[in-house]
Amino acid sequence: MDYLNKYKRWLESDGIDDASKKELLSIKDDDNEIKMRFLKDLEFGTAGLRGIMKVGASNMNIYTVRHASCGLAKYVVKLGRQSDGVAIAFDCRNNSKLFAVETAKVLAAEGVKSYLFDTLRPTPELSFAVRYLGCAAGVNITASHNPKEYNGYKVYGDDGAQVVSEAADSITGFIAGVDIFDVKTMDEAEARENGLINRIGEEIDEAFYKEVMDISINRDAIEKAQLSVVYTPFHGAGNIPVREVLKRCGLKSLEVVKEQELPDGDFPTVKSPNPENPEGFALAIDIAKHKGIDLIIGTDPDSDRIGLIVKDDKDNYIPITGNQTGALLVDYVLSQKKERGELPENAVVIKTIVTNEIIQKICDYYGTELVNVLTGFKFIAEKIKAYEKSGDKTYIFGFEESYGYLPGTYVRDKDAVGAALLIMEMASWYKLQGMTIYEALLNLYKKYGKFGEWVDNIYFEGVDGMDKIAAIMDKLRANPPKSIGGSDVLSYTDVKLGIKYDKDGNESKIDFPSSNVLRFVTDDGTFVAFRPSGTEPKFKIYSGFFSENTEEKAALIKNDIKKLLD
């Protein structure tokens, strides 16, 4: 069915409410907008759904959410686990609660029990709840750090991790087998009366907080050091849990940015609610400057990512990157566990292949194994599950460069709540040693070498955005670069094909799931990776390197990449 006929079908369907029809009628003379909304269906993948909130087959709305929920329900029924239920959470975004309730109503109509949080909760708590309640699956309505126009539908397996490809493919098959306008829902009050929708809240909070508190290494450091901290939840779900955990740890001087404290899906104070973007911390920095605050932290809307702003040696407040924070945390955790005799011989740290290689040097120093996985915390979770089953390795810490950290195994996704505690403990411990986080970072450079990075996101808007990205990847595969940033390419890995090529063209197999990623390594240890997003028309470039002049090296890499893409 072409996009115009699909548009007409939606417009004329009895299953569309009046407000949605009115929205569709408003675009009747805009062929490009109709094409954007109906050329392709919103695809369900291992990240679930994610898209701009509009009426249409390509967008996030109650119809696409119901459709996905029907597929999930049928998948759970096939497993025979409808009585085990599905845990459902939602964040602060516009329509998040609506989509969560609609999900529960569809599950109920298919005879699947759900556990629906009473108010917004962070992503890591949803992951925790799935395992704590023994659910068959979980759903979180969130688009994480995306702009306000977006929302998403993350699906989790019974291990508390985002579903892997096999489960996602099965759910997709069930979705395809049901017409989007034939999805049944049950009245919410009826579903609650029949025990098919169950309210959850404080009891899960308490169990989650207990597990977070248990990750502490130096339990009294926070209370002894008494850092002064400014925190911003960027209008999101971290506000209550992050503050509660830090309070329980003994932190007394925690100031919250009032303008960014309360839930607000319009995110009125920031361009994008992403702790990777320093501009969002402007209000927090103003407070910190005025009061001489030690440290600033910020979590994204679903509180799975966390960013830091620290004081440098000139008392300027500067951001530190996800790679820098991760390196500091890995060094802190390994050093403290080593010193206390608590570092197992089979300890393992996990990072993604686009995360800086400084982590390898840190792990080598402490005699700890480093395992690399593809981008996405589900791959870290997969390893944790395998290690628990085999018992041959003990997970210590995992992270990815995009500000996501997992300091324990109580959840199976990145956790900004637990990371906030560990960051605060680390900063407190360094303060007790007479050091700031910035000084600790400089010491890390002295010990392992100064490392840098350059990351870029390129958006290709429009209906042909994904096609443009595919053409770029085809070009890179057909003509791989011979040098990057002034250094010869030693090897490159095509993760999609599962092959690593050396500079002479010799091939070797790699042990990774197939993914559309290309990664190049040069003779001075620089890496550059290219990865299209699976959920939006975005092309991401990552690089990591060692250099005394990181700005100059980054500029060289950036220039070479620009030539490659022109």
How far CA 251 is from CA of 9, 174, 316, 407, 499, in Å, comes to: 57, 49, 23, 19, 50
Give me the DSSP letters along 33-54: HHHHHHSSPPPPBTTBEEEEBS
Residue 127 region by backbone torsions, left for phi larger than 0, else alpha for psi between -120 and 50, else beta: alpha
Judge contact between 67 and 180, C-beta under 8 A. Answer: yes
* Cα dihedral sign, 36-42-45-51: positive
- Strands (E) in 70-183, as ranges, are 86-90, 114-117, 137-141, 150-156
The β-bridge relationship of strands 507-509 and 518-522 is unpaired
Judge contact between 103 and 275, C-beta under 8 A. Answer: no
Closest among 467, 469, 493 to 480, alpha carbons compared = 493
Kindly state the tokens that stand for 358: 């400084």
Q: What is the DSSP letter of 333?
A: H
Give the up-direction half-sphere exposure of residue 471: CA atoms within 13 A in the CB hemisphere.
8
Q: How many CB atoms lie within 10 A of CB 381?
A: 28
Cα 69 to chain center, whole Å?
21
For the chain, the distance separating the N- and C-terminal CA atoms, rounded to the nearest angstrom, is 35
Closest among 298, 286, 544, 287 to 423, alpha carbons compared = 298
- Strands (E) in 315-402, as ranges, are 317-320, 347-352, 369-373, 394-400
Instruction: Please give the backbone phi and psi of residue 530, each rounded to the nearest 5 degrees, phi first.
Output: -120, 130
Judge contact between 539 and 460, C-beta under 8 A. Answer: yes
| Distance (Å, whole) CA 475 – CA 289 | 48
Query: Is-catalytic flag, 144?
Result: yes
Kindly state the tokens that stand for 169: 């493919």
Interior angle at CA 417, CA 387 and CA 403, nearest 5: 75
Closest among 454, 485, 452 to 327, alpha carbons compared = 452
Closest among 300, 298, 302 to 310, alpha carbons compared = 298
Q: How many CB atoms lie within 10 A of CB 415?
A: 33
Q: Which candidate in 20, 144, 402, 487 is catalytic?
A: 144
Mind telling me the catalytic residues? 144
